[in-house]
Structure 1
């Protein structure tokens, strides 16, 4: 059995490059029985397709063709799965690729230049990817379908906006939770409405 080695990477992109290098080495791949549980492995994407169909099934029929799905994206596996679902007939009007400041894809969609920058650490660290492995799959899906890449919406959000949104969500959830708890308490005490 081959021995193991420990590698330290400064960010996701550097680690992913090492993983890709290992998968490209047929001898190493066979010797170690390498497999991936992330979206490098198409099996992961095939499983993710299902929850898009399940989510749409929860909507009223008349709302289904109007659905716009914003997908928080790092390595773009989730968006790829959504586009695969759309290619299989999922009635989605549009997808939005949402990133943090590691905004290679939004900048590309806006200006047409693919220019990854150094990955920056953020509060939304699952999205700290500057060279998403699944982006070529996304482009291929658009190339093979009648959709145009310009139909894909995009947004990039910084940490300040993330924090502000989290505070607002907490306020809304706390307020709503308080209302629900108050109503439940009132019911349990047989309060008059």
Structure 2
């Protein structure tokens, strides 16, 4: 066999879409990311739902989506540069702690029925900023979690994870609202 050819079994292993999950660090980060993204989509759906009761004005309700999406547009490129110059691990831990505090404050205000339309837009924007800042760092650590042959499968799995959470999050958020009330998804 020429040196450039791989044995057939080795090709089959590297072509497997599941190869990235053989690496514990990738599996743990992937699961955590899917859960976090599901929570984000639950929050986004619940924010729109809550805004309709706080202010039924269609412009104000549509601003929830703007507050959620605008940070990615504004901060994704600078966040990518930032991810290249800082310690990714410390940066991600710091951002996730800050996001947890913001989300907890938001949940507390909703639970206490103190949330106003302006505050809801602020919290939604703040959480969007956190997501925009952390996304490039999360994506850039994938090559550190899997060896090079598993990288295409890992990148594809991340895309699948985002889409799975995008499908599950709003549905789960709506179910929680129906069963437990508007504060539950927050």
TM-score (norm 2): 0.26
**Rg (Cα) greater in structure:** 1
Q: Which has the higher helix share?
A: 2
Query: Would you tell me which structure has more strand in proportion to its own residues?
Result: 1
